Amino acid sequence: MSATETAMKRVAYYKGCLASLSAKELDSSTQALAPMVGIELVELESVTCCGAGDIHEAEPDYYLHLNARILAYAEATGCETLMTVCNVCTLNLRQANFMLQGDAALLGRVNENLETVGVPTYSGGVEVRHFLWEIAEGEGYEKLKDVAHRGLKGLKVAPFYGCQILRPSKIMGFEDPDRPWSLERIIQACGGEAIDYPAKVKCCGFPIIAAREETALGEMIQPIEQALEAGADVMVTPCPLCHLSLDAWQQKLEASTGRAFQLPILHLAQLVGVAAGLEEAELKFKRHIVDPRPALERLEV
Amino acid sequence: MQVGLKIWRYDSATGDRALREYEIEAPEEATLLDCLDIVKERHDGSLAYRKSCRMMICGSCGMRMDGAAVLACKTRMYDIAEEGRVPVISAMGNLPIVKDLVVDMDPFWAKFKSTQPWLQPGYERPDDGREYRISQERMNVIHKEALCINCGCCVSECNAMESDPEFLGPQALAKGMRFVGDPRDGATVERLERYNQEHGIWDCTRCYFCNERCPKGVDPRDAIAKLGAESIRLGIDRDMGAKHAKWFVRSAETTGWLREEELIPKTQGYVAAIKQLKFGASLARHGKVRPIPFPHTANDVDEARNLRKLVREQDRDGALGIVQGERALGRLEHGHKDESLEEIYERPGAAPRPWLPEVEEEASA
């Protein structure tokens, strides 16, 4: 049975800032892949940035209200799930959601404010889930196994989780933050070989890359160096911020160390997309700084 | 029960390093600390580790189990022994090892001390001769930070400190917040200026390892966010990290989406950003940034703008904005997010209800 013949799961799709601009390839590959794994994306029209960690730090009350507004518009679609494709959006939205669901007085105050500016109120009925979780288990995983028939044929893939999809685990709660398994499971289902290395759960340095570049590069080198030592052909990450630092800033790491890493970094939807036979028009590898195509062309398909 | 442990032994005097395996018999209620005591008393007296209170309050026995910092006295071994796992025990990270599981805490204490972790009184005594009273709302701001026992588990795993060893770090900054948020303290601005320096709050890379590891629920990353929020509230925003954070606010209220292409010049200043032109050009070649940024505006962005105006009038700026969610998140941590406090205390075998002034006030009202 093909994926489209069974019921599709409707989710409100929050793409966030990066997938709207510098990581458009994440949006196009997610849009193309989602129906193949049984997910119907309902795009949100009137949403803003979640504020990253930045509005949470600069004006935390505003952070809460911006995220409540996103949750309210997601609820208004009638979907039970708000699907994210970015670690930072996932943490921000899940955190705000738990704050509102666990404190009736706070929810009341926020709703009053939302109403004042003309936003629908939020009842607390949405669950925020990352695309990774949707395809790592359950129905999504079963369909993934069906569509990933083109296979990655022994491609050595380094899973890189990043931080804010694992920690704080009380807010994430999907898997053991020290022994995660979801990316490995997906890599294997696509016919790839998941390689293991300690820095896969550590920070890529992105949040401070503009303000503390040297410190950020000192963090970023760990996953890149360790993945290459373990024999990785490519790296995959569920977070477009990790992607941006690991891909775009890799040239700065090369300049500062005098070494040539040239490790291609794939978005999760691109890696599965390759296995599912998506084309360059959707994968848009030309938008990467380190071109993954030479590594992928070696695949015998 | 049978407990297996692999312990990294190290002697800084000789540089000798070895992973030793121990197999011991321990009572079922044994903690990791109990097991280490058994190793030392019955198997190998040369093993070095720190301990004191055995009840999670002195902060002496921080160490790593399978790479994750724990308090040895808080870590029960029953499940691990049942699974037949043999965990690897090693010294905490980000601090030099003296011997086996004992680290040199001097760099830790030096950073702690540099935050001046004591009250610098700056309040007026009430005229009526009674004590100075603080509202519950103000105490909530520093409640979690006051729980810190200086064990170092957060520092052990701090990703930013691995890269910049001079970073003040999660423990020192959490304690700093404990005094910044104390209404009796008179040095708030001086403290924030100090914590806003090069190796201060804007070094934090938001990896959340500190929140994950803290055995006392301090959530140091949240404390650092509170310090950032208080700094920006008081106009202490010269650091590039503060400018970076403020640009997200500006973006949200003007276009709704992050104005990514202007982020580097707004953070580093237009003069410094000229050095990034070559880098920017490489991104532009791949369509990551556009040569001429034009606004990419979200629908109904006036709602986001009006929302900011509205909430800024409601006196929950700074750290107060963060703590308003702490109670809900705390309930999440203890696994009863769907229960009210009433329901929790009415559960069979529940702990007795603590005395809470607000409850009494509600009852008498």
d(CA B104, CA B98): 6
Q: What pLDDT score was predicted for residue B345? A: 77
User: How far from A160 is each of A239, A242, A266, B277, CA to CA, in Å?
Assistant: 9, 9, 10, 29
- Hey, are the CB atoms on A215 and B267 less than 8 Å from each other? no
Of B248, B289, B328, nearest to A22 by CB-CB distance is: B289
**How distant, in Å, are the alpha carbons of A178, B1, B78, B189, B229 from that of B31?**
21, 12, 8, 43, 39
Q: Which residue of A has its CA nearest to B302?
A: A117
Q: Chain B partners of A19 at a C-beta cutoff of 8 Å?
A: none
Helix (H), strand (E) at residue B174: helix B169-180
Nearest to B282 among A46, A118, A289 (CB): A289
A170 contact residues in B (CB cutoff 8 A): 329, 332-333
Whether A221 shows a pLDDT value over 90: the answer reads yes
| Percentage of chain B lying above the pLDDT 90 cut | 75
Stated as kind and residue range, the H or E segment containing B233 is helix B220-233
Look at residue B347 and tell me whether its pLDDT is greater than 80: no
Task: Check CB contact of B241 with chain A, cutoff 8 Å.
Answer: yes
> Cβ–Cβ contacts within 10 Å for residue B225, how many?
26
Per CB-CB distance under 8 Å, the chain B contacts of A24 are 287
- Does any CB of chain A come closer than 8 Å to the CB of residue B270? no
Mean pLDDT throughout A134-163?
95
At residue A39, the pLDDT reads 98
The answer on pLDDT for A100 being more than 80 is: yes
Report the C-alpha gap between A182 and A171 in whole angstroms: 17
Q: Identify the sign of the CA torsion B233, B235, B240, B244.
A: positive
Dist CA B110 CA B86 (whole Å): 35
Rounded Cα gap, residues A264 and A266, in angstroms: 7
- Which pLDDT does position A4 carry in this prediction? 47
Nearest to B156 by CA among B228, B69, B271: B69
At residue A1, the pLDDT reads 44
pLDDT, tens digit, 9 for 90 and up, residues A233-288: 999 999 999 999 999 999 999 999 999 999 999 999 999 999 999 999 999 999 99
| Among candidates A59, A211, A218 on the partner chain, residue whose Cβ is nearest the Cβ of B240 | A211
Confidence of residue B277 (pLDDT cuts 50, 70, 90): confident
Mean pLDDT of A48-62: 96
Ramachandran bin of A196, using left for φ above 0, alpha for ψ from -120 to 50, beta for the remaining angles: beta
Q: For A201-215, A220-234, B288-302, B337-351, which range has the lowest pLDDT when averaged over its residues?
A: B337-351
Q: Is B208 on the interface with A (CB under 8 A)?
A: yes
The pLDDT score that the predictor gives to residue B272 is 87
Query: What average pLDDT does this structure show over B238-265?
Result: 93
In this prediction, residues A64-90 reach a mean pLDDT of 98
Smallest Cα distance from B148 to chain A, Å: 18
8 A C-beta contact, residue A159 and residue A108: no
Residue % of chain A over a pLDDT of 90: 93
- Confirm or reject contact between B159 and chain A (CB < 8 A): yes
- B109 in reach of chain A (CB within 8 A): no
CA distance B84 to chain A (A): 17
How large is the average pLDDT for residues B203-210?
98
Say how many CB pairs under 8 Å bridge A and B.
Answer: 253
pLDDT score of B349 more than 70 = no
Exposed (0-12), middle (13-18) or buried (19+): which is A145, by Cβ within 10 Å?
Answer: middle
Q: Is the CB of residue A261 less than 8 Å from the CB of residue A250? A: yes
Q: Is the pLDDT of residue A131 over 80?
A: yes
> Which of B205, B287, B322 has its CB closest to that of A60?
B322
State ipTM.
Answer: 0.96
Average pLDDT, chain B: 92
Provide the pLDDT for residue B341: 72
For an interface test with B, the pick among A57, A87, A197, A253 (most B C-beta atoms closer than 10 Å) comes out as: A57
Say yes or no to pLDDT of B246 above 90: yes
The per-residue pLDDT for range A150-169, each reduced to its tens digit, is 889 889 999 999 999 999 99
0.80 exceeded by pTM: yes
Nearest to B163 among A46, A100, A219 (CB): A219
Region B298-309: mean pLDDT is 95
Q: What pLDDT was estimated at residue B336?
A: 52
